[in-house]
Amino acid sequence: MKRNKFLLQITFLILLLSTAACKKYGYEVEDGYTDGSKTPNTSSSIDTNMSVVDRTMYAKARIFPGLVDNSEPRVKDQKFTLDLNFSAQNASNLRIQVAPEPQFSTGYYAAPGELIKIIVPDGINGLSMQIGGHTDNLTGKVPLLRDPIIYSVKQLYPGVNYVRNLYGGTIYIRAAFAFPKPVEFTISGAVVSPDFVLGVTQDAAWVAQVKASNVPWLEMRAKRVVFLIPRDFVIRKFTSSEPLTNPTAVMTEWNNKFDLDYNAWMGLSDNAPDVKDRSPQGPWRGVLDIQLTAGYGHSGFPFVGQMDDEWFNSFTSLKQLLTGTNWGTYHEFGHNCQQPLVWSWSTLGETTNNLFSFKVAKRNGVAFNILHGVNHDYVTAALAFAASTPAAGVTKNFDTDPLFVDVNEGPFRKINPFIQLFEKYGYDMMTYFYTSARHASRLSFNDIDKHDFTYERASEYAQTDLAAFFEAWGILISTQSQAKISAKYPPLKVKLWTYNIFTKAGGTAAIVPTMTASSEETNGEGAVNGRAATLLDGNTATYWHSAWQTAPIGAFPYTLTYNLGYSQTLRGLYFTPRASAGQRPKNVDILSSADNVTFTAVASTQIPNAATQYNFIFPAPVKAKYYRIVIKDSWNTGTNASLSEVGAIQ
């Protein structure tokens, strides 16, 4: 009996040890990753006992992201299915800063320190599980409001997998590649998150689920965007002046925003023939956090906003969505969508991202004056800059002028030229920018390249040479670029840079070249003749005449200054002498200038002694705003000169 009893005890001990130590969970792997660096956590071993809870981080998890009450039911062998058949569309393809990643919401939440068991079907590889949506790494921040790294990622294998996160968090599946058919998983140990899913969850049912839940975080999900928000903020919002009881309307509007004001405005669609023009197949993600790596909000995947009422409302307020006043949300998503490698140049980092707010307001018929910054001086100050004539020897520079370098108002002042172009030629000009940038044969390597790209694409879309507009704003473009565009399109006829995007007035005055003379006759030649302006009226019957009876009477050389109104690349000038044989100019020098101060010699020529148009072609094309014509003598022996017409040859 003793021998049998001893054998029985040995058998029981072996069974006990095998129960505690043998890990029949499908695949022997390390205990996941402690953070996004994929550094194995070697300080602990796999524990497959679902009843064991690691409470070592409870105190910190209680602060953030929060605990899950023991009364909240933990699921057991719950099945769920995910469609992992995504089309990989990365930032490089789209030439934007950030693109959505293949991260899939499960609808489950892991309580802090509790083990999650997930079964992956046979043949399904390349997956990982992420616990926690708060991925900002706060290492080095002082003071810390939460631990620096509170999310974890662990690779999954076919079979049974165990994952634990000491802080808990929303559970996601991440995929390295797509699967053509939906994948069914089995999960145990998690709690159900009261997520709202557009098209699946009913509003009233969702409100009841949120009230009944003790899960600290939940998601509001639509096809294009997912927001991770704190449940207690939602509860508080239920009884506010704008209760959050209409998530269907809110998330429908968010879907519209991304369909129409982001994807479509960038020229993206789900079924575009060219992969470069396909919209991101996964949703954008936004989260609220108690502390951020940078600023009050920052871009990325996910976009992160401060966990306060302002940012929460920017996610969930239908009123703000319809009016466009949730500037910060559009601002950060706009950062993700910028194209700095092709056209959004270095000083537009806080400008072109804000164009999306104007697009939202335009589509919803909202006045721009409710948008951030419009009630400041950025419109009037910017317009004054565009209309100004720089001091002698000074070149306007959009990128370096103190008005635009100003940290607070500068980025908003820089918005003006873009909105002026959109208001004049249509907001689809932005679509043309983005589509052209995605298909550009090469990237831009400096700001002048990007200026040129923007100028050329804007001119192509407008079917108008917009050099005058870019010059008024001090956006410098190269001679080669302007020569190419001026050869294809007629010049801009109106001073579009005076259009006020706030009042929607102005921008219609004609761009008129001017001619001035060192000497002109203002008396005795009728109401028109004698004045330099007649050289540009297109009428060979009118003429300019140097002063011959009105003091001071002129003498050679006479100087005509031809102001084109903006810098243009000319191949030459033409001259039409007066029909009367007297005072026809003979030898002339031609000079050019960008600022009407410093002139450079272009060429000299002799105008034939005939009342017919003489076309003089320069030795090489010249880009300038001002052309000075120095008349050195005439074909007769007098001291006067006269011409009928002068014009540009492009």
Q: Which tens digits make up the pLDDT trace of 553-595? A: 889 999 999 999 888 889 999 999 988 877 899 999 999 998 8
Of 45-59, 221-235, 250-264, 417-431, which range is least confident? 45-59
pLDDT, mean of residues 57-80: 96
Amino acid (1-letter code) at residue 496: L
pLDDT at 126: 95
β-pair partners for 530: 544
**Which pLDDT does position 9 carry in this prediction?**
42
- Residues above pLDDT 70, as percent of the chain: 90
Two structure tokens written together for 110: 């892991």
Grade residue 49 by pLDDT with cuts at 50, 70 and 90: confident
Res. 85: pLDDT tops 60: yes
CA angle 621-626-629, nearest 5°? 85
Is 50 exceeded by the pLDDT of residue 33?
A: no
Residue 421 clears pLDDT 90, i.e. is over it = yes
pLDDT class of 17 with cuts at 50, 70, 90: very low
pLDDT at residue 46, rounded to an integer: 55
Is pLDDT above 70 for 395? yes
Instruction: Convert the pLDDT of each residue in 279-305 to its tens digit.
Output: 987 899 999 999 999 999 999 999 999
What percent of the chain has pLDDT above 90?
74
What confidence score (pLDDT) does residue 247 get? Answer: 97
Q: What is the pLDDT of residue 67?
A: 97
φ, ψ of residue 156 to 5 degrees: the values are -110, 150
In angstroms, the CA 237 to CA 259 distance is 27
pLDDT (tens digit per residue) in 99-137: 999 999 999 999 999 999 999 999 999 999 999 999 999
Antiparallel, parallel or unpaired: β 558-577 and 614-631: antiparallel
Structural element, H or E, at residue 188: strand 183-188
Instruction: Check: CB of residue 589 under 8 Å from CB of residue 556.
Output: no
Tokens linked to 648: 């540009």
Which of 27-41, 114-128, 308-322, 351-365 has the weakest average pLDDT? 27-41
> Is the per-residue pLDDT at 215 higher than 70?
yes
Q: What is the DSSP string of 25-93?
A: SS------BSSTT--B-TTS-----TT-B--TTHHHHHHTT----TTSPPPSSEEEEE--------HHH
pLDDT at position 28 over 80? no
Band (87; pLDDT cuts 50, 70, 90): confident
Preceding amide of 302 cis, omega within 30 = yes
pLDDT at 253 over 80: yes
If one compares 380 and 33, the residue with the highest pLDDT of the two is 380
Q: Give me the mean pLDDT over the 203-207 stretch.
A: 97
Model pTM score: 0.82
Note whether 314 and 326 are within 8 A (CB).
yes
How far apart (Å, rounded) are the C-alpha atoms in residues 391 and 137?
Answer: 50
Residue 27 has pLDDT above 50, yes or no: no
Of the spans 17-26, 53-62, 520-529, 580-589, which averages the highest pLDDT? 53-62
Q: What are phi and psi of 431, to 5 degrees?
A: -60, -40
Distance of CA 483 to the CA centre of its chain: 29
Higher per-residue pLDDT: 86 or 141: 141
| In the block, residue with structure tokens 């802080």 | 167
